[in-house]
Structure 1
């Protein structure tokens, strides 16, 4: 079996889709795969032909690892009622297959830092996916992974990447806190932040604090009102 045929099988690429190009960067431990739709034209020697998506229509999704190699899929959006696992949603960092794997790991209670380490993912991509998943916009069936106390309607909690979380964690912003558990959490996170220099880990701590506010939003009206004015 040729290497390209094996890759078709591993990625579960079926007609009318076909691998157009492969780039392997051993220095980055990364394989980039371009996938296109067969044009219908064929020859006795080359078989069916396919073309890569034009640059203005090309999307890149991180796919399930191939051994110890990261795999990136380059393709156009797939307009199909049952899209293949190697494809992804608009604006999402992961393919559908990888998204399902990550969602399953979250349901098993595996911590986000562990998922990042096991799958070689960046914190920012994982949190982007998780935030989208929690809001039911990740294109996966099922309920959000983390239930909140929200009764519906717009949330007053700032987005995860809002600078207010960084300010709370570095101490440049102080608010009056009535909820004792939040006092303990913020004190712990501030101590950790003083020792952390890695930017991705610092982002993770900011998201941890934001998730606390989302989970207990109904009990944090006093604190959220101060964040709105910050």
Structure 2
């Protein structure tokens, strides 16, 4: 039995950007159910069309993408009709933008630069829809290290951390440095299936939606500190 087509909303105040993204997505069988020219339109479109994914620009008139993301995710958490299950994928022109970090903490499932290739755009939308989070590790890490609270400013405590096993804590620390499941498997000499199970259990125990939230939590609780050397290589 074939799955229904993935449904998306594109929110960007530039008509050419919306048209370009619509053509790219449509060519791969992704249905664009609405376009929005500002954040307020995006929130309304999500409530109306119940999309799987929103491609959200940051800088838009009336209501920016950050506040729109907050509202969409708040509606989703509250179970508001039309918002449940929708994932937000942030689009930005800049690879270092404090709005992007804020959007991730507001509930976005990842972000892309607008010069992304068509193939990467389509793959990213599908990754986010599958329930995983899109982490561009080098950019995400730089954003979090630039804007996450420093040690003296941290006050976040997450009791769920005490429920993690030593192995799960190790996986979370490595995940927070931007490693993919495949890289985690190689690093820990585990199968990809085992790593996926560990990640799923971590998210469940901590009440997190995806890997982005896990990375943010790891920094904000001090499990990993800005400036920690990358685990790659």
Normalised to the residue count of structure 2, the TM-score between the two structures is 0.30
Determine which structure has more spread, i.e. the larger CA radius of gyration. Answer: 1
Q: Which has the higher contact order (CA 8 A, sep 6+)?
A: 2
Normalised to the residue count of structure 1, the TM-score between the two structures is 0.30
Which has a greater percent of strand?
A: 1
